[in-house]
Amino acid sequence: MSANLPDVAITDFINDLHHQFRSQGNILKGSVREKTSVVGRTVQFPVQNQGIANQKALSDDVVPMNIDYDPITLTLQDWNAPEYTDIFSLNDVNWDDKMELVIACSEAIARRSDQLVIDVMESGATNTVGDYSTGYTWALFTAAFKTLRGNGAVGSDMFCAISASAEAQLLNVDQITNSDYVNRNVISGLNGLSGESIMGVTFNVLPDMTEGGLPLTGTQRDCYMYNRRAVGYASGKDLTVDVNYVPVKTSWLVNAMLKANAAVVDPRGLVEIRTLETA
């Protein structure tokens, strides 16, 4: 056997390419008001303020409540997630790199879609509970629920966006997992609290994201409870992926695109929950 044979050994690749674990995005899709196929750059979500009933004497004219309308305007943003794959390099691997890049680019845009919603909730929340001194406790959950109840925002389509740490903390809460408090197996699926509903509030657990994710400063994490109609999301171009050959680069260009943005439509229906993040 030649001692030099390893110098010319062929490198083989397992053709089942593993995508590094990450959020696949679009976790918050469906939990907020959505308007698609927008034509133009700006979008308005009309908001009707409440009226107050009044009395009148017999034969007097009625006095109108003069209800105000405050449209919330958002400006759409253009986002791209492009990547090249060289035509010569394609022959060096035994998987279809173009199709793998379609997945990676699509997930990058889907995560950006979530981040647009998170960013406006961070900047637009006026109701807060907690002071970052405890993890996500049952007391914080009920305090957030009470705030929305007091604002008249409790009803159908209630959601709570939480971190993995907050999920772990809530899984130690008897009011959620102990049969002395609940008459059914709350954690019935294989995905923890994601998709589970407690007191009509559906949980969405968001992984850490390079895009930012749920706001985290040191050990101070912000989570959010909200009514679906309190946050609006509009898109002029939903997630679209183009795959084109670029001769000048002798490469295929895979590009995922999105034209969208989000806005807090009614801050009365949104609560920021300030929690202590734990390892």
pLDDT, tens only, 105-141: 999 999 999 999 999 999 999 999 999 999 999 999 9
- Within a domain: 55: no
Q: Higher-confidence residue: 195 or 132? A: 132
Grouping H, G, I as helix, E, B as strand and the rest as coil, residue 5 is helix
Dist. CA 132–CA 92, nearest whole Å: 51
Indicate the residue type of 278: T
Q: Is 264 helix (H, G, I), strand (E, B) or coil?
A: strand
Write down the pLDDT at residue 70. 82
Closest CA to 202 of 231, 226, 177: 226
Q: What is the pTM of this model?
A: 0.87
In a domain, 152, yes or no: yes
Please indicate, yes or no, if residue 234 is contained in any of the structural domains. Answer: yes
List, in sequence order, every residue forming a beta bridge with 201; answer none if it has no partner.
Answer: 158, 198
Residue 187 belongs to a domain: yes
Q: What percent of the chain has pLDDT over 70?
A: 87
Length of the chain: 279
Report the DSSP pairing between strands 231-246 and 197-198. Answer: unpaired
In a domain, 272, yes or no: yes
Distance, CA of 160 to CA of 227 (rounded, Å): 9
Provide the pLDDT for residue 278.
86
- Assess whether pLDDT exceeds 80 at residue 20: no
Q: What is the total count of domains within the chain?
A: 1
Which structural domain range is residue 145 located in? 33-48+68-276
Residue 26 lies in a domain: no
pLDDT band at 264 (very low <50, low <70, confident <90, very high): very high
Residues β-bridged to residue 216: 221
**Lookup: tokens for 187:** 């954690």
Is residue 170, in this structure, part of any structural domain at all? Answer: yes
Asked, for residue 260, whether it belongs to a domain, the answer is yes
